[in-house]
Amino acid sequence: MDANGNCVRPSTCQCTYDGQILLPGQTINVVDKCQECTCQNGCVTCKPVSCVEKCTYSDWSPFGECSAPCNGTQSRYQTLQGPNCYRNDTKTETRPCSTAITSYQKGCLTCTCLNTTEEQCVSNCAITNETCSQIEDPLFTYTYAPSTNGSCCGSCVKVLKPEICSVQQLPADFVTIDNCTSTEKIYQQQCLGGCISYSMSGFNSPKNNCRCCSPATTSTKQVEVKCTHSNGDTTIILKPYENILTCSCSACENTIGGD
């Protein structure tokens, strides 16, 4: 029947095969099933045919764009093709390349192509680990810290130089003061180490920052001493004696110059 509901001859009827409309008498090759199918009287009839593939590789495609300004690669391709070819296969050929750009940005670096495989890059930032380490400061050392906000350049972070100042225990010995000598040997302590001091030029006089390794905390104990007087008499009395417990770097006394 036609679209108007009228009867027609079977030889004029179309066919449908795998979603494809076939005209009366039309024949198609179904390569993946090795069949030849024909539309007859509104029906599709198929018969087996030879499945010998006829595949050939296409011509090489043009080389694509270079993947990087320097030390990049570019590729070209060949694909299988043919009327009875249903295999998918591709040949790839790759070669090194570089563009004609003499310099380009690579992250936080400016790079220059030396040839197709080599490049030379320098930092865009004036602040580097080397520049930080060259800063002269009597109190601080400077180290490079990378950026934390996404920018290319980091910063120089200052760290207070270590000061070493500690208590050193001395061997026990007799101690003499004001013609008086301890009746027993006493352990003594001293503050020993290095503290950062410096002087800077200024108006009227240099400015001094003098720091000394000095006692920080002490304790007092009574020590028995034997004193000899001018008439030759001797007496034994108790005198206060300061023991050093801890030491630290602090401003020196009797410094010269302004502050």
Provide mean pLDDT across the span 104-115.
79
Task: Look at residue 176 and tell me whether its pLDDT is greater than 80.
Answer: yes
Task: Look at residue 233 and tell me whether its pLDDT is greater than 80.
Answer: yes
pLDDT at 255: 44
Q: CB under 8 Å, gap of 24 or more: what pairs does 156-161 form?
A: 156/127, 156/131, 156/132, 157/132, 161/196
pLDDT at 169: 93
**Are the C-beta atoms of 132 and 142 separated by less than 8 Å?**
yes
Average pLDDT of the chain is: 84
pLDDT at 86: 67
Which tokens is 111 given?
């790079």
pLDDT at 96: 86
Which tens digits make up the pLDDT trace of 153-167?
889 999 888 888 999
Residue 257's pLDDT band, with cuts at 50, 70 and 90, is: very low
